[in-house]
Amino acid sequence: MDVMGNIVYPIAGLLGLYGFVSLASLLWEGIDRKLVARMQRRVGPPLIQPFYDFLKLMSKETIVPNTANYMFRAAPVLALATAIALLAYTPMGFTPILASKGDVIVFIYLLALISFFKIVGAISSGSPYAKIGAAREATIMVSREPAMMLAIFAIMWRLGKLGVDKPFSMGIFYQHNIWEIGTPMSFVGAIILLYVFCVWLASEIEVGFFNIPDAEEEIAEGLLVEYSGRYLALLKLTKALKAYIAASLVVAIFFPWGIAGYFGLTGLSADVVNLLFHTLKVFILLFVVGSVFRAVTGRLKITQAVDFLWKNVFLASLVGSLLLAMEVIM
């Protein structure tokens, strides 16, 4: 067995990615807060404020409630571990480290597992506020994922028809992309699916309409109400990583083009350049879907959000998928 190729390089790559994405995603939070502050005619915090926040939370005393059980302590660690594992399957300007046939299911599973661990951690605290937050998170999760799953399976199936070596792999987007199909119907379908994915991204990172599970003012921080100190720091980091990962998925599906080819780069340097360019695209997408959406809208009620996700977004996903699949089916 090729130890270097199979074990050492992937682990080194994963650690490198983890370091880079942690920095980039926390930096994005700083930029995001700055930009939203400017939109509201405030000066806003410095760009590296999230790093200060993180360090401060890490150094604070951690309080564990009387009523909490072991999952309260385990959940933040498990959630972060899941997010790190997910990095190995996330397309970030190049084919993911552990890309293999069918790994889209692993991607969706791990992404949902992060939320699941957050929910388990919240109910394990024994606080009724956290329990309400957890119930809301679960409701939103069940409502938002089907639209995304339908759309991503339709896209991957359609791209698989163009001929790829590993069908239903996250690396597929760097072989063919959705705009290549080129028929008017598929173009309209792709636009509709872009809408679906943008709303999905907003609900995944819980901004704007979908800032429901942690609603500060109503249920006192909801899910995270009992968390403090180190655990809160870990959860905040997980949230930042998850935002980057979810945005990476949308970027990879709709805007997968790299720039390394123009500079004639190959190998590692090409990957690094593509990663940086990918990060730029992620930031732009997060600006549109995150910052702007957060600045211009308030939150919906939970029932309205569920209605919106099923009646609007899921339907759009259905229509978009059908349009995309049309010329193959007929």
Partner 1 sequence: MNGHEILPYLIIIPLLGAFSMPIVNLLGRKAREAWAVIITGATLAVGSALFYSVWENKSIIVYTLGAKSPLGQANFPIRIVWEVDLFGAIMVLMVTLVGFLAVVYSLGYMKHDTGLDKYYTLIIILELGMLGIAITGDLFNFYVFLEIMSIASYALVAFRNDTWEGIEAGIKYMFVGSIASAFILLGIALLYGQYGTLTMSYLAVKLAQNPTVTAKVALALFIAGLLFKSGASPVHMWLADAHPAAPSSISAMLSGLVIKIGGIYALARILFSVYGAGMSLRGLYMGDFHPAINLTTVGWVIIIFACITLIVGNAMAVIQNDMKRLLAYSSVGQIGYILLGLGIGLAAYGSQTGEIAMAGAIYHTFNHALMKALLFLIAGVVIHQLGTRDLNELSGLAKTMPKTTFAFLIGAAAIIGMPPLNGFASKWLIYESSAIFNPILGAIAIIGTAFCTAAYVKVLYTFFGRPNERVMKARDPEGSMLWPIIILAVAIVVMGLFPWQISDKVMIPAVKALENQLAYISAVLGGA
Q: How far is CA 282 from CA 54, 245, 256, 317, in A?
A: 22, 9, 11, 22
Interface positions, 267-326, toward partner 1 (CB under 8 A): none
Give the contacts of 186 (CB within 8 A, at least 6 positions apart): 158, 178, 323, 324, 326, 327
Give the ranges where the chain is alpha helix by DSSP (H): 3, 9-39, 49-59, 70-87, 103-124, 128-160, 184-204, 216-219, 229-254, 267-286, 293-296, 302-307, 315-329
Nearer to partner 1, 85 or 319 (CB): 85
Give the contacts of 280 (CB within 8 A, at least 6 positions apart): none
Nearer to partner 1, 105 or 284 (CB): 105
Interface positions, 63-102, toward partner 1 (CB under 8 A): 67-71
Choice from 109, 187, 195, 310 touching partner 1 (CB under 8 A): 109
Binding of partner 1 by 131 (CB under 8 A): yes
Per-residue x/- mask for partner 1, residues 28 to 67, rule CB under 8 A? ---------------------------------------x
Nearer to partner 1, 40 or 66 (CB): 66
Output the smallest distance, CB 113 to partner 1, in A: 8
Segment interacting with partner 1, rule: CB under 8 A, options 86-94, 125-133, 201-209, 295-303: 125-133
User: Taking Cα atoms as reference points, which of 302, 306, 292 lies closest to residue 219?
Assistant: 302
Nearer to partner 1, 274 or 321 (CB): 321
Q: How far is CA 225 from CA 138, 170, 251, 273, in A?
A: 16, 35, 32, 40
Output the smallest distance, CB 126 to partner 1, in A: 4
Segment interacting with partner 1, rule: CB under 8 A, options 24-32, 120-128, 148-156, 235-243: 120-128
Choice from 124, 203, 238, 274 touching partner 1 (CB under 8 A): 124
Output the smallest distance, CB 127 to partner 1, in A: 8
User: Taking Cα atoms as reference points, which of 170, 194, 197, 199 lies closest to residue 87?
Assistant: 170
**Residues 235/227, Cβ–Cβ less than 8 Å:** yes
Residues that bind partner 1 (CB under 8 A): 67-71, 106, 109, 120, 123-124, 126-128, 131, 138
